[in-house]
Structure 1
Amino acid sequence: MDTGYLLYGLIGIVVLFIVIKLLKWPIKILINGIAGVITLYIVNFIIANLSVIGINTSFSVPINAITALIAGFLGIPGVIAIILILLFL
């Protein structure tokens, strides 16, 4: 009986290790997406406050899954790229 419990414990540890390994990428993508949404929100907040000090802007960066993931994966250069794409297209 003791070897059975030991075997079940080892199998459980291996399964837990595999599940954690498989969930590593989706969790990283989720965290990066959340960071991208926060970054885009801050950029939109700054752009909206420019009109308060007298600079008229009718510009905002849309917050959706694609822009959030681009901003999350690429960081500040990704946000700048999104802004440039929106300005020139």
Structure 2
Amino acid sequence: MHISSVWLWCGAVVLGILIVSQFFQQPGRAAWRIVRNVALGCLFVFAVDWVGSYLHFHVPFNPVTALTAGILGVPGVAALVAMKLWIFA
């Protein structure tokens, strides 16, 4: 299954609009929420790596994985694990 790059750009634009709209509504609160979620995302990715080290499983830690886990939370970490198992295996 191949996802067209147009759909990926549309999704990125919609996500960007949602994030920017949060800044205009409550700038300080939205910035704090994004920083907090990215930090928690980093911790989730590190936790998966720590547990995965016993199972010989590794999710690479980079800005994309941190932002994915930070924006989406636990479902984002689950998506990263699923992508690692199914697509990149």
Is TM more than 0.5 here? yes
**How large is the RMSD of aligned CA atoms in angstroms?**
1.5
* Cα distance between partner residues in 1 of 2:30 and 2:74: 21
Q: 2:85 aligns with which of 62, 82, 87?
A: 87
* 1:36 corresponds to 2:34: no
Q: 1:25 to 1:62 in 2, by over 3 A?
A: same
What is the count of residue pairs matched by the alignment? 62
Larger Rg: 1
* 1:26 corresponds to 2:36: no
* Cα distance between partner residues in 1 of 2:84 and 2:28: 34
The CA deviation at 1:22 is: 2.0
Name the SS for the 2:68 alignment partner: helix
Name the SS for the 2:59 alignment partner: coil
* 1:65 corresponds to 2:70: no
Give per-residue Cα distances to partners, 1:16-64, cap 9 Å, x unaligned: xxxxx422222211110000000110110001023xxxxxx2x311112
* Cα distance between partner residues in 2 of 1:27 and 1:76: 19
Letter of the 2:27 partner, please give it.
Answer: L
* Cα distance between partner residues in 1 of 2:74 and 2:53: 19
Larger relative contact order, structure 1 or 2 (CA cutoff 8 Å, min sep 6): 1
Unaligned runs of 5+ residues in structure 2 are 1-25
